[in-house]
Each structure stands twice: as C-alpha cells, then as structure tokens.
C-alpha cells in the first residue's frame, strides 16, 4: 500500500470522505453502539479508553512559530469545541493525491439533558456530541466514535483505544499554536495529534498520523496530514462558521 493509499485510508477512518461528517472517526468504532432510539434515552456511556504514559513521537513543528508565554492560562473545557444549538461549521476536504474536493456542513440542531446530568448536543445527521472528563465524544449515527482530548492542564497522557484492527492514539500536541486558513489567522489553537497503527491484517503498513487544530470559541479550523508536504498544506480547512437561530 502506497503512502497515498495510507493517507486516503486515514481520511476514511477520520470520517472525511463522502457524506460522512468531518472528525467523526470510523476507526474510532468501539463495542458500544448507538441504537435507533432517541439519543436522550440511548445508552451513552463513553467507550472504553485507556490512558497511558507511553512515550509518543513529538508533534510536528507549529504551522506558525509562536513564542509561548511564561505561564499558559488554562482555558475552560470545550472552549476549543463550543457546544451550542445553532452552531455550524463548513469544511473543505481534499482527497489526498486527488483533485476531488468535498464540502461538508455540520450543524448542532438540538440539546437534550439526561437524568444523570449529561448534556447531549445532536447534529442534523443524528450524530451526538458531549463533554465528559476532559474529553469531547463525537458519536456518529452509525456508531462511529471520535474522542478528542481538550484538557490542556498538566500534560495529560495520550488517549489510547483499539478498533477495526487499529490502535488509535490521541494527545494534545500544543496548546498555543497559530495557523493561517484561507487567509485568516487563528491564534491560541489547540493541536490534537492522532496516530493510527495497524495491529494485524488491515492492509495498512506503518503508522498514519495527522494533526487537528481547534481555535478557541470556534472549533476545528484545519487538519494536516503527516508527513507534511513542502507547502505545509491542510487536507481539511474551515470555510465558514457561526451560529444560526433555530
């Protein structure tokens, strides 16, 4: 399998091909599956996650070098992934090694409260997102799960889980990265690094990695596949965002 094939596979497991939503990870499928009932009544326990202090490779250099302050003030949890009814994001995704470009829109259409106090936010495709213990859980309507660590304090260990013959690791690469997307500069971004490694019989050879960048008060603004090309281009870019009155 070529490097391009691996990048395409990474795009698929990241939920970035066809009509699938950006950042809903098909490789994040776990034993816990959503049923065809209202998200407010479905079993919403988070998937099993193993936190480990295992050594991970250093994150790639920042898109725009920034001088870190002497003291980094911790932001409120989920500030980099604002959860609010009416929030929408429009992304442009280019298939690696192809001229095919897909535009995908995500909209949070309603909020539901559970008896256990958990607040669920539902997308227009019936996907669910919620915050728990320093992580954002995105659960697709077909059962796919994407776990996003958003806790920036204290150098939290990577989030590690297995699915579909792959081991997935996610960790915070930087809490103050800056980058330019479509001519607009975003500062103080949270970089979340994802690495997929085939366990056996998956057809993938070697690890596949990418960085996702989350801007405070906005959400994900870009995604960059490793290794970076000479231009440092982004595979996924934010083209529009905001809040609609629903």
- Domain regions of the chain by residue span: 3-32+69-239
pLDDT for residue 80 = 92
- Dihedral angle at the C-alpha atoms of 137, 61, 225, 201, nearest 10 degrees? -80
Contact assessment for residue 234 and residue 224, using Cβ atoms and an 8 Å cutoff: yes
Cis peptide before 66 (omega within 30 of 0): no
Report the chain's terminal Cα–Cα distance, integer Å. 46
Per-residue pLDDT of the chain (246 residues; tens, 9 = 90+): 444 444 444 444 444 322 333 333 322 222 222 222 333 333 455 444 444 333 333 333 334 433 333 333 444 455 899 999 999 999 999 877 778 899 999 999 999 999 988 999 999 999 999 999 889 999 887 777 788 998 876 667 889 987 667 788 999 999 889 989 988 999 999 999 999 888 876 566 667 899 999 999 999 999 998 876 666 678 899 999 999 998
Closest among 204, 207, 205, 213 to 235, alpha carbons compared:
213
pLDDT for residue 172 = 92
pTM: 0.70
Closest among 29, 20, 10, 16 to 161, alpha carbons compared:
29
Q: How far apart are CA 80 and CA 93, in angstroms?
A: 20
pLDDT for residue 231 = 63
């Amino acid at each position: 399998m070529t490097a391009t094939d691996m990048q395409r596979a990474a795009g698929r497991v990241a939920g970035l091909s066809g009509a699938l939503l950006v950042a809903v990870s098909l490789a994040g499928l776990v034993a816990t599956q959503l049923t065809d009932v209202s998200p407010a009544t479905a079993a919403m326990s988070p998937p099993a996650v193993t936190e480990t202090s295992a050594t991970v490779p250093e994150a790639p250099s920042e898109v725009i070098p920034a001088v870190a302050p002497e003291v980094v003030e911790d932001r409120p949890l989920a500030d980099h992934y604002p959860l609010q009814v009416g929030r929408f994001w429009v992304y442009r995704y280019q298939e690696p090694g192809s001229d095919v470009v897909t535009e995908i829109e995500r909209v949070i259409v309603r909020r539901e409260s559970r008896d256990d106090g958990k607040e669920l936010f539902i997308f227009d495709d019936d996907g669910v997102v919620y915050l728990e213990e320093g992580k954002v859980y995105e659960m697709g309507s077909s059962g796919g799960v994407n776990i996003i660590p958003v806790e920036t304090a204290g150098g939290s260990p990577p989030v590690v889980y297995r699915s579909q013959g792959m081991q997935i690791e996610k960790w915070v690469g930087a809490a103050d990265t800056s980058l330019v997307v479509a001519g607009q500069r975003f500062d103080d971004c949270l970089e979340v690094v994802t690495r997929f490694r085939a366990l056996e019989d998956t057809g993938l050879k070697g690890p596949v990695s990418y960085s996702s960048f989350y801007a405070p008060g906005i959400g994900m603004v870009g995604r960059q596949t490793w290794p970076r090309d000479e231009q440092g281009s982004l595979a996924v870019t934010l083209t529009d965002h905001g809040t609609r009155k629903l």
